[in-house]
C-alpha cells in the first residue's frame, strides 16, 4: 500500500531555543534563509507523500502559513518583476497539501502522534520529527517506505549508529540483524547507559507506522518525563507486529538543539556555492581573531 500521509509533530515548546521560541515556532527558525521545517516537508514530498498532518499547539500558525500561498507577497513580487523570488514563493505555497490538528497539552511525542489518528484513516503512515533534518539523495523516509513495502507493510523505524558512550541520549533499538542494514526488533530501551545498551542503533525521528500503534497509544500509561512516549508504544508493538529497524543512508542534523543547529548552518553554508567562499573567509578571520589553533 502506498504511504500517502505524514504526521509531523511540532507542538513542543522548544525550550532549548529560548528566548526565540518565546514568540516564534522553533520549526520556522531558518538554516541560513530556509526554515528548518522546509527541509523536513521537502523530504516527505520527495518521498511521494501527498498530505502533511502537522500536530500543532498555540503559536505555531506560522508553520501552516509558510506552506500556504501569500497572494499579497506574490502580487508585490510580480509588480516589481522579481520573477525568481515569485517562483520560489509560489512553489512553497503549492508544495503539498497541509492540514493541522491541535495537541492542546504537550503530553509527549506519543500523545502528539495519537492526536492525528482520525486524519490517518486506517492507513500506514510516516512520522517525521520537525526538528530533525536528514540529507541524502534518496530521502530517508523514502528508504523506510521501501523497506516497509518489501516486508508486507511492516512498521519500520529509522535508526542511525551512535558512539556507544552516547546511548544514554537516545532511544535505542534491540533485536536481531537480518541483513547489514535491517534489524528485526523485539523492543526498545529509552536512554540506556552504555554498558546496558543492547545495540548502538538510535532512533532519530523517522518512522513508518501502521494504525495498530494508535490502539496502543490510547492505553499506555505516562512514561519517562511523565509523558506519553512513542518509544513505549513501539515497545509493545514489537510484541504484536512485525517491526523492523533500518539503518538509513544520510547525514542527520538534530536541529532541535543549538549545537546541531549550528552544525547544520555551517554545513549548509559550506556546501552552497552562493555562500561558500565568503563564509570560508569569515571563518578564517574569526578563527584568527579568537586565537584558535586548529
Ligand atoms: P523535543 O524533545 O525536541 O521537545 O520533541 P521540544 O519541546 O520540541 O523541544 P525542547 O526539548 O523543549 O527544546 C521532539 C519533537 O516532538 C514534538 C516536538 O515539537 C518535536 O518536534 N512534540 C514533543 C510534540 O509535538 N508534542 C509533545 O508533547 C512533545
pLDDT in tens, 52-91: 999 999 989 999 999 999 999 999 999 999 999 999 999 9
Q: Tell me whether residue 161 is exposed, middle or buried, using C-beta atoms within 10 angstroms of its C-beta: 0 to 12, 13 to 18, 19 or more.
A: exposed
| CA pair distance 138, 32, nearest whole angstrom | 23
What number does CATH give the domain 5-255? Answer: 3.90.550.10
**Cβ atoms within 10 Å of 205's Cβ, excluding its own:** 24
| Cα atoms found within 13 Å of the Cα of residue 196, Cβ hemisphere only | 9
Ligand 1 contacts CB of residue 109 (under 6 A): yes
Q: Are strands 171-177 and 182-190 parallel, antiparallel or unpaired?
A: antiparallel
Pocket test for ligand 1, best of 109, 116, 261 (most atoms within 8 A of CB): 109
Atom of ligand 1 nearest to the CA of 106: 28
- Quickly state the pLDDT bin for 283 (edges 50, 70, 90): very high
pLDDT recorded at residue 85: 97
Give CA–CA dist 151/235, Å, rounded.
19
CA of 169 relative to ligand 1 center, distance in Å: 15
Q: Omega before 95 cis (within 30°)?
A: no
State if residue 25 touches ligand 1 by the CB under 6 angstroms criterion: no
Instruction: Enumerate residues 6+ apart whose C-beta is below 8 A from 282.
Output: none
DSSP annotation string for 137-202: SS-HHHHHHHHHHHTTS-EEEEEEE--GGGGGGSEEEEEEESSSSEEEEEEEEES--GGG-S-SEE
pLDDT of residue 154: 87
For residue 79, the model assigns a pLDDT of 97
* Cα of 13 from ligand 1 centre, angstroms: 6
> Residue 285 corresponds to which cell in the numbers above?
578571520
CB atoms within 10 A of CB 293: 4
Q: Taking the CB of residue 284, how many other CB atoms lie within 10 A of it?
A: 10
Per-residue model confidence (pLDDT) at position 294:
84
What percent of the chain stands above pLDDT 70? 100
As a whole number of Å, the end-to-end CA separation of the chain is: 52
What element of type H or E holds 24? none
Q: What is the DSSP letter of 285?
A: H
Which long-range contacts link 221-224 to residues 24+ away (Cβ below 8 Å)?
222/107, 222/108, 223/108, 223/110, 223/190, 224/190, 224/191
Non-local CB neighbours of 52 within 8 Å, separated by 6+ positions: 5, 6, 8, 41, 44, 67, 96, 97, 98, 99
40 lines ligand 1 (CB under 6 A): no
**Best residue for ligand 1 mutational test, from 12, 133, 223, 225 (most atoms within 8 Å of Cβ):** 12
Q: Which atom of ligand 1 is nearest to the CA of 11?
A: 25
204 lines ligand 1 (CB under 6 A): no
Nearest CA to ligand 1 atom 22: 12
C-alpha 9 – ligand 1 centre gap (Å): 8
Exposed e or buried b for every residue in 58-86, given b needs 16+ CB within 10 A? eebeebbebbeeeeeebeebeeeeeeeeb
- Give nearest CA residue, ligand 1 atom 7: 12
Q: Tell me if 107 CB under 6 Å of ligand 1.
A: yes
pLDDT of 152: 86
Contact 242, 164 (CB under 8 A): no
Ligand 1 in reach of 103 Cβ (< 6 A): yes
Whether the predicted pLDDT of 272 surpasses 80: yes
Tell me the average pLDDT across 116-140. Answer: 95
Domain residue spans in the chain? 5-255, 257-294
Average pLDDT along the chain: 95
Q: For residue 121, what pLDDT is reported?
A: 82
Q: Is 129 in the pocket of ligand 1 (CB under 6 A)?
A: yes
**What value does the mean pLDDT take over residues 102-116?**
97
Q: Indicate the pairing of strand 34-35 with strand 30-31.
A: antiparallel
Q: Which residue puts its alpha carbon closest to atom 4 of ligand 1?
A: 12
Q: Which three cell numbers stand for residue 159?
A: 535508526
> Does any ligand 1 atom lie closer than 6 A to the CB of residue 133?
no
- Residue 26 Cα to ligand 1 midpoint, Å, equals 10
Q: What is the pTM of this model?
A: 0.96
- What's the pLDDT tens digit per position in 183-230? 999 999 888 999 999 999 999 999 999 999 999 999 999 988 899 999
Q: Could you read off the pLDDT of 147-180 as tens digits, one per residue? A: 999 998 889 999 999 999 999 989 999 999 999 9
Amino acid at each position: 500500500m502506498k504511504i500517502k500521509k505524514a504526521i509531523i509533530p511540532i507542538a513542543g515548546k522548544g525550550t532549548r531555543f529560548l528566548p526565540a521560541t518565546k514568540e516564534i515556532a522553533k520549526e520556522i527558525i531558518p538554516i541560513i534563509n530556509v526554515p528548518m521545517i522546509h527541509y523536513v516537508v521537502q523530504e516527505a514530498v520527495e518521498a511521494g507523500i501527498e498530505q502533511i498532518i502537522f500536530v500543532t499547539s498555540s503559536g505555531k500558525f506560522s508553520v501552516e502559513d509558510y506552506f500556504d500561498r501569500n497572494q499579497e507577497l506574490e502580487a508585490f513580487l510580480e509588480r516589481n518583476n522579481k520573477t525568481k523570488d515569485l517562483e520560489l514563493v509560489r512553489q512553497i505555497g503549492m508544495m503539498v497539501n497541509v492540514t493541522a490538528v491541535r495537541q492542546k497539552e504537550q503530553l509527549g511525542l506519543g500523545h502528539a502522534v495519537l492526536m492525528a489518528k482520525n486524519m490517518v484513516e486506517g492507513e500506514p503512515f510516516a512520522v517525521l520529527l520537525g526538528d530533525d533534518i536528514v540529507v541524502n539523495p534518496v530521502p530517508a523516509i523514502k528508504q523506510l517506505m521501501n523497506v516497509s513495502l518489501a516486508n508486507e507493510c511492516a512498521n519500520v523505524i529509522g535508526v542511525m549508529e551512535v558512539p556507544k558512550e552516547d546511548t544514554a541520549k537516545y532511544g535505542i533499538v534491540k533485536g536481531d540483524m537480518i541483513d547489514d542494514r535491517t534489524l528485526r526488533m523485539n523492543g526498545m530501551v529509552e536512554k540506556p547507559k552504555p554498558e546496558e545498551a543492547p545495540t548502538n542503533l538510535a532512533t532519530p525521528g523517522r518512522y513508518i507506522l501502521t494504525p495498530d500503534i494508535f490502539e496502543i497509544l490510547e492505553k499506555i500509561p505516562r512514561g519517562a518525563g511523565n509523558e506519553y512516549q512513542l518509544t513505549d508504544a513501539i515497545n509493545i508493538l514489537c510484541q504484536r507486529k512485525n517491526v523492523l529497524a533500518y539503518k538509513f543512508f544520510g547525514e542527520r542534523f538534530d536541529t532541535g538543539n543549538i549545537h546541531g543547529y549550528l552544525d547544520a548552518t555551517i554545513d549548509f553554508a559550506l556546501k552552497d556555492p552562493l555562500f561558500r567562499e565568503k563564509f570560508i573567509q569569515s571563518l578564517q578571520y574569526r578563527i584568527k581573531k579568537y586565537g584558535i589553533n586548529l
